[in-house]
Amino acid sequence: MPEFFRSRAGRQCLTIMALGAVLWISATLLDVDSWLVSFMSTFENYGADKFVLALGIAGAMSFIYSVLRIADLRKEMQLRDSAQARADWTATHDHLTKLPNRYAFERKILPKPADKDGNLPEEAKSNVTIFSVDLDGFKKVNDLVGHKGGDVLLVEVAKRICALGNADCVYRFGGDEFIIIALGMTAAREEWFAKVLIQAVTRPILIDGFAVEVGASVGYDRWSEGAEPLEDAAHRADLAMYEAKSRGPNHQLIFETSMQDKVTERASLETKLRGAIQNKAIKTYYQPLIDLRSGRLCGFEALARWTDEDGMNIPPPIFIGIAEETGMITELFENLLTQACSDALAWPDDVRLSFNVSPVQMEDKLLPSRIFKVLAASRLPARRLEVEITENALVQDPAIAAHILDELHKAGVQIALDDFGTGYSSLAQLARYRFDKIKIDKSFIATCREDEKQEKIVRAMLALGRSLNIKTTAEGVEEHAQLAYLLQLGCDIGQGYLFGKAMPAAEAGIFIESQNTNLASTA
């Protein structure tokens, strides 16, 4: 109500009422009624009594009108207030979990923990810690139980986080990321709370009869009260969370300055990589693949090499990883494949080009047509190309992967399963897709002669290849003894420093010329 009287309409109504009251009081004080009676009897003949009566009725009507108008305006203001409150809520909350969102976080004003609880340990009194929680494997849940099931999971996770403490200090920043503001925690308590968060989130959740599990990565850091916006601390908590995530699911980490350095370094590397791809500064090198029975060269694996402007060699797993994350992989792949196909044209007809396809490319339905376009432009026959894919590449989207492999096979391109034994589900993949070759990962070859278990695994892989009629390549052959051993076990192809490291195209030409060396005699 006082709100109403502060509005313009309210002030108008008040003025009318005040005027009425002033008139009324003045009339009473000045004895206006007796004066009116004598006035009307004096001027009776002129109809003054009727005039005064009309004036009285008009006054009463205005008063009633004012009262009704006040009631209307009050109602209108109430409606406006509730609409405003609804709009405010919508702007500051997430509709699914009903938690406040990033915008609400930015507007948050924190109470002083020491004001609320004087019993806090001295060192924790003014501590404000921001925790960032991100789910691991949420996409797989969506795939398994659909988006509605995914929503159920997010609501349950929100409830569990809120149940751990101050529910009004839990925020959903979109997707599967949550932020928690915790007050008055010691360092030990922060670590403990991060672990409790992980435990709470990772307990199975029942959705449509499925017991669904997700992982959680947690990062956290203190807010420098008064010295920075709260978002800065949330950003550092995020960086710590990403670092925790990179160590596998269910890790928690406190922020360290090296994490910020890593991000800055990565951003600069990304810019350099963009330039290197545009300028075609990344080159393909070729590592020989040797037929172990004949000792002859049967192919080259193309491996990307990048020396940046400062002369630094950037390892392929680093720049390929950045290219994958930033979507530059397609352009890089097309550049490198074009280079490699044109180099391979100069090789003998029976020397095949092996080319790595990264897991993210196996989600691209257009991959076969991209490859065919490069093959057609370079005039390299499809049968001379072999693509190497890892097991992990088949897990992302098995239907698209099957389509890609089918198209490539139909065109005559060979498919090799790379890094066999290190990925997700080796045997299931072998049964489901048709492979022409299995490449046994170099980690098995390196240890198989000293480690009995590894040796048994290598034997089993070779036997599996034979029984499925798929050729086997041993990666990372570095010693003559390894070669002799692999020959004895019946491995088909060898690759490794013993035969040659990855070399530029010109050196590959020289290698071809000298390839008549009988490798069997070196064994």
Q: How far is the C-alpha of 340 from the C-alpha of 383, rounded, in Å?
A: 15
- Residue 187: half-sphere exposure toward Cβ, Cα within 13 Å: 4
At 398, list the tokens: 């098995």
Options 356, 358, 472, 473; binder of Ca ion; rule CB under 5 A: 356
Structural Rg of the chain based on CA atoms: 39
- What φ, ψ does residue 157 adopt, rounded to 5°? -60, -45
Per-residue mark of binding to ligand C2E, 383-422 (x: CB under 6 A): -----x-----------------------------xx---
> For the packed helices 48-92 and 32-42, what is the interaxial angle rounded to 10 degrees?
140
The smaller minimum CB distance to ligand C2E, of residues 252 and 356, is found at 356
Which positions from 459 through 478 interact with Ca ion, judged by CB under 5 A?
A: 475
Q: Report if residue 343 touches ligand C2E, rule: CB under 6 A.
A: no
Q: Report if residue 478 touches ligand C2E, rule: CB under 6 A.
A: yes
Asked whether the beta carbons of 164 and 194 are under 8 A apart, the reply is no
Min CB(332)–ligand C2E separation in Å: 8
Q: Report if residue 507 touches ligand C2E, rule: CB under 6 A.
A: no
Selection from 177, 190, 254 nearest residue 216 by Cα? 177
The per-type count for the chain, helices as H runs and strands as E runs, is 21, 16
Min CB(468)–ligand C2E separation in Å: 21
Q: How far is the C-alpha of 439 from the C-alpha of 492, rounded, in Å?
A: 10
Interacting partner of 154 out of Ca ion, ligand C2E, none (Cβ under 5 to 8 A depending on kind): none
Options 10, 288, 476, 494; binder of ligand C2E; rule CB under 6 A: 476
Could you give the 3-state DSSP secondary structure of residue 357? coil
Query: Where does residue 12 rank: exposed (0-12), middle (13-18), buried (19+ CB within 10 A)?
Result: middle
Q: Report if residue 388 touches Ca ion, rule: CB under 5 A.
A: yes
Options 99, 201, 240, 304; binder of ligand C2E; rule CB under 6 A: 304
Only one of the segments 140-148, 237-245, 259-267, 387-395 lies at the binding site for Ca ion (rule: CB under 5 A); that segment is 387-395
Instruction: Pinpoint the alpha helices (H) of 164-291.
Output: 187-202, 230-246, 257-278
Only one of the segments 126-134, 196-204, 208-216, 356-364 lies at the binding site for Ca ion (rule: CB under 5 A); that segment is 356-364
Q: How far is the C-alpha of 11 from the C-alpha of 4, rounded, in Å?
A: 8
Options 162, 419, 437, 511; binder of Ca ion; rule CB under 5 A: 419
The smaller minimum CB distance to ligand C2E, of residues 173 and 286, is found at 286
Q: Report if residue 494 touches ligand C2E, rule: CB under 6 A.
A: no
Only one of the segments 14-22, 192-200, 357-365, 412-420 lies at the binding site for Ca ion (rule: CB under 5 A); that segment is 412-420
Interacting partner of 478 out of Ca ion, ligand C2E, none (Cβ under 5 to 8 A depending on kind): ligand C2E
Per-residue mark of binding to ligand C2E, 261-290 (x: CB under 6 A): --------------------------x---
> For the packed helices 138-163 and 187-202, what is the interaxial angle rounded to 10 degrees?
130
Q: Report if residue 358 touches Ca ion, rule: CB under 5 A.
A: no
Options 97, 129, 335, 358; binder of ligand C2E; rule CB under 6 A: 358
Q: Kind of pairing, strands 297-307 and 313-314? A: antiparallel
Q: Kind of pairing, strands 313-314 and 471-474? A: unpaired
Contact positions vs ligand C2E (CB under 6 A): 287, 302-304, 315-317, 320, 336, 356-358, 388, 418-419, 442, 476-478, 495-497, 502
Name the site residues for Ca ion (rule: CB under 5 A).
356, 388, 418-419, 475
